[in-house]
Amino acid sequence: MNDKNIVLIGFMGTGKTTIGKALAKLLNRTFVDTDFCIEEKWEMSIEEIFESRGEKAFRQLENDIIVQVSKLENTVISTGGGIVLNQNNINHLRANGKLYLLNGDMETIISNLKSSTSNRPLLNTKDWITKVRDLLSFRRDLYYSSADFIIDINKKSITNIVDEIIEIHGNLQ
Ligand code: S3P
């Protein structure tokens, strides 16, 4: 199998962490999640970082971590939903990896996020559905243009999605 990193990108609630862990286990690769790396390094949760330092500072910490994890090889990397906001993140990740976009429609994303908006600072608002809609319409093109491969996640099981990624990655030269 190709030893390029498998990098999962996509909006919040598209299953990047769950699918990344499953992929890493099956392929016997190291798993890295950029949000976990940031939390570990700063000994703070993502919510605490947003609260105490603001989104702009978080984006800088995120970029620093992306630069570091991009140097790894043969790794599965799950990323935060906002990494596409900075082209520099994409350039680094692509140097050693293939970028797989987990692409879901609004309904899938809303349904997946229903139980987990409170630990996502950007969605910690009563009208989080409008926020999802606004963020998605702003970011959609960025996700598409950043992806090497677009994986449709609608109505698919984790196993189906994982198998699809393994097949594509295994066929790469
Ligand atoms: C964000 C997504 C989150 C996390 C932060 C900001 C975003 O990661 O990085 O709350 O801007 O979309 P997940 O995509 O893993 O929820």
Q: What angle do CA 34, 111, 167 make, to 5 degrees?
A: 55
pLDDT, average across residues 90-105: 98
Residue found under tokens 């390094």: 41
Residue 79 has pLDDT above 90, yes or no: yes
Cα–Cα distance, 35 to 11 (Å, whole number)? 13
38 close to ligand 1 (CB < 6 Angstrom): no
35 close to ligand 1 (CB < 6 Angstrom): yes
Residue 1 has pLDDT above 90, yes or no: no
Q: Name the residue with the closest Cα to ligand 1, atom 3.
A: 80
pTM above 0.85, yes or no: yes
pLDDT at residue 163, as a whole number:
98
Q: Could you tell me the distance, in angstroms and rounded to a whole number, from the CA of residue 105 to the centre of ligand 1?
A: 17
